[in-house]
Amino acid sequence: MTVLGTAGHVDHGKSTLVRALTGVDPDTLAAERERGLTIDLGFAVAPLPSGHRVHLVDVPGHVRFLKNMLAGAGAVSGAIFVVDALEGPRAQSIEHLRLLELLGVHEGVVVITKADLVSADRLDDATLETLVLLEGSPLADADPIVVDSVSGRGLDTLRQALDALVERIEKGNQAGRAGAGRTRLWVDRAFTAAGAGTVVAGSLTGTALEVGDTIELQPGGGTARIRELHSDHAAVDRADPGNRYAMALSGVARSQVGRGIAVVRPDDWWPTTMVDASVSVLGDLDHELSRRGAHVLHLGSGEWPVRVRVLGSDAIEPGDQGFLRLHLPRPLPLAPGDHYVLRESGRGETMGGGTILEVDPQRRAAVALPSADPQRVISDRGWVSSRDFRRLTGCDRAPDLGDWLVDIDVRVEAERALVARVESAGAVGLALAELSGHDRVLADSLGRNGDHLEVRDDRLVLPGTVLHHPWLDEVAAGGFDPPPPSGIDPAALRSWVADGRLVKVGEVWWSAEAIGEAARRLATELSAHPDGITVAEVRDALDSSRKPTLALLGLFDERGLTRRRDDLRIRGPRLDAVANGHPINT
């Protein structure tokens, strides 16, 4: 079901109209009924001639309850804009019309109420006044529908108009919502129900949810499981986007949820405390918009105190447009394209509004140029995983390298630097194991075509490079007394150790074959002397001197091939494995 919200001045008949369309009184608070004034949001469902049913959110018209109106209007797809035939458009009529535009609500019907209480001439005047008000607004093309909610006059015409409105919305607007590929429900109502526990309600956008799904609550990051789903007073197994739902949650206390909390899928969003946004400042303000003031951001169903930084200048004049950096008190799951309203609580006035452009912007405010182009996320970060790209933008994009999206200039420079490192490494190249995650995916890409680099024996080398070095032959021939690495690049030594060709023993490097042979000789000696052998016996078995023997035993003790018991060495758990050819470095 599509969700529509009422809008209009206080006491212009919004709640009475909802009651006439649904048979339900949306004013549920005792104070509302006593005063005949809507204070908080009301909810009801109206049947339409086509058989469709539409959710109606009744919002308060009084200026003192404007924050409640914004909480309800933030999640609707269309509006029922109401004007009293007797009074005509008033202050909150103008305010609500502006707020609808700022919130991106561009579809709706216009209703002239209380028609039976005025003369035909006054009805014509009210209609004309309303048309003048609507000029230049998103509802400018709407033909006002004359209604009297008490007598029923015009209600059938209104229901047919609502049917047409729902059809337009379902064809167009839902697909274009911000974050359309990700689940989000801004909570506008939360309560505890007997047998159900904690219940939250709101309008679902993005993708479907089902009973049993695990959800996340933002801000806060707590998780819960959906126990039950209800829509239009009936239990359902699945919640589809574009409709209002109540969901009973397990694993969350009532104190953890409330208006302004968003229900999302875990790890689907990038909660942030900073966004860059466009802004349109209202033209009838008598002052500019600057960083000074007690600013409040209305977005979704919540209101948040924010610090404002005007980008590109110090202030924005009334009627002008510009860009803001907004600093939020808590991380929120926001998407490029989200609409917001900015108010100043000290003056109690609406400053303007706009759309979120960048989530967690990377550029300093002094040089920021906000853009909703998803490419900005890549260019400003250089490297971004495809998963994080989706969390930041709501867009899916195939990765460029491995699982990464890479800015083209950053990629070219990284490839150049990697080729230079390989050239500096000489004949030995670079061990893949020593490369960073970014360099590994670059190496895979460059090595796959073989034009600039090749991958051989788990090393990155220049095409045609011979990996072997004559000194390695000398080390192999030296056995337990190898020559020192005179003139050998330390990077080459580290690479040969990484790929298992060499093992560092004290201050010298032995071949892997020499290590294996030494392990075999010690295994033979310990088989003959299971209670242990001395350093001298190890020295004799290796036909070596005392210094390299002690260095080798230190390495064997460290790696678990031998164990020291007083002055003896006994068999360790890894001796037989290395003696049988397993590398000592694993």
How high is the pLDDT of residue 218?
93
39 pLDDT more than 70: no
Q: What's the mean pLDDT in 190-200?
A: 86
CB–CB of 298/350 below 8 Å? no
Question: pLDDT-based confidence at 112, cuts 50/70/90?
Answer: very high
How high is the pLDDT of residue 450?
62
How high is the pLDDT of residue 225?
94
How much is the pTM?
A: 0.73
Tokens of 503: 């093992």
For the beta sheet containing 145-146, the strands, ordered from the edge strand earlier in sequence to the opposite edge, are: 42-47, 53-58, 3-8, 78-84, 108-113, 145-146
Q: What is the DSSP letter of 135?
A: T
Ramachandran bin of 105, using left for φ above 0, alpha for ψ from -120 to 50, beta for the remaining angles: beta
How high is the pLDDT of residue 63?
40
Pick the closest to residue 480 from 507, 511, 501 (CA basis): 511
Tokens of 485: 């690495």
Beta strands in 333-470 (DSSP E): 339-344, 349-359, 383-385, 404-406, 430-431, 454-456, 459-461
How high is the pLDDT of residue 169?
83
Ramachandran bin of 584, using left for φ above 0, alpha for ψ from -120 to 50, beta for the remaining angles: alpha
33 pLDDT more than 70: no
How high is the pLDDT of residue 466?
61
Q: What's the mean pLDDT in 232-252?
A: 88
Q: How would DSSP label each residue in 498-526?
A: HTTSEEEETTEEEEHHHHHHHHHHHHHHH
How high is the pLDDT of residue 61?
42
Q: How far apart are CA 200 and CA 153, in angstroms?
A: 36
Q: How far apart are CA 206 and CA 581, in angstroms?
A: 57
Give the burial string for 95-114 (b: 16+ CB within 10 Å, else e): bbbbbbbbbbbbbbbbbbbb
Tokens of 538: 């190890």
How high is the pLDDT of residue 421?
87
Question: pLDDT-based confidence at 30, cuts 50/70/90?
Answer: very low
How high is the pLDDT of residue 323?
97
Q: Please, which residues have CB within 8 angstroms of residue 323's CB and are 6 or more apart in sequence? A: 276, 277, 278, 279, 310, 311, 312, 357, 368, 370
How high is the pLDDT of residue 36?
40
pLDDT tens for each residue of 413-462: 999 999 898 888 776 777 788 888 899 888 888 877 666 787 776 778 78
**Residue of higher predicted confidence among 498 and 229:** 229
CA 135 to chain centre: 38
Query: Any alpha helices (H) in 200-258, and if so which ranges?
Result: none
Look at 143-157, 162-176, 190-204, 371-385 and tell me which has the smallest mean pLDDT. Answer: 162-176
> 295: number of CA atoms within 13 Å, CB side?
24
Q: Please, which residues have CB within 8 angstroms of residue 124's CB and are 6 or more apart in sequence? A: none
**Residue of higher predicted confidence among 186 and 426:** 186
295 pLDDT more than 70: yes
Within 10 Å of residue 557's Cβ, how many Cβ atoms? 14
Q: 338-352, 406-420, 461-475: which has the highest mean pLDDT?
A: 406-420
CB–CB of 443/456 below 8 Å? no
How high is the pLDDT of residue 177?
52
Look at 199-203, 211-215, 265-269 and tell me which has the smallest mean pLDDT. Answer: 199-203
How high is the pLDDT of residue 75?
63
Q: Please, which residues have CB within 8 angstroms of residue 413's CB and are 6 or more apart in sequence? A: none
Q: What's the mean pLDDT in 29-41?
A: 39
576 pLDDT more than 90: yes
Cis peptide leading into 241, omega within 30 of 0? no
How high is the pLDDT of residue 74?
54
Burial class (CB in 10 A: 0-12, 13-18, 19+), 251: middle
Could you give the angle at the alpha carbon of 486 between the alpha carbons of 482 and 490, nearest 5°?
Answer: 100
Question: pLDDT-based confidence at 23, cuts 50/70/90?
Answer: confident
Question: pLDDT-based confidence at 228, cuts 50/70/90?
Answer: very high
Ramachandran bin of 152, using left for φ above 0, alpha for ψ from -120 to 50, beta for the remaining angles: left
**Residue of higher predicted confidence among 151 and 60:** 151
Tokens of 53: 């049913």
CB–CB of 443/453 below 8 Å? yes
Q: Distance of CA 351 to CAs 30, 81, 298, 305, 347, Å?
A: 33, 22, 11, 14, 10
- End-to-end CA separation in angstroms for the chain: 61
**DSSP β-ladder status, 238-239 and 502-505:** unpaired
Side chain identity, residue 280: S
Any bridge partners for residue 362, and if so which?
none
173 pLDDT more than 60: no
Q: How far apart are CA 292 and CA 303, in angstroms?
A: 18
527 pLDDT more than 80: yes
- pLDDT cut 90: percent of the chain above it: 53
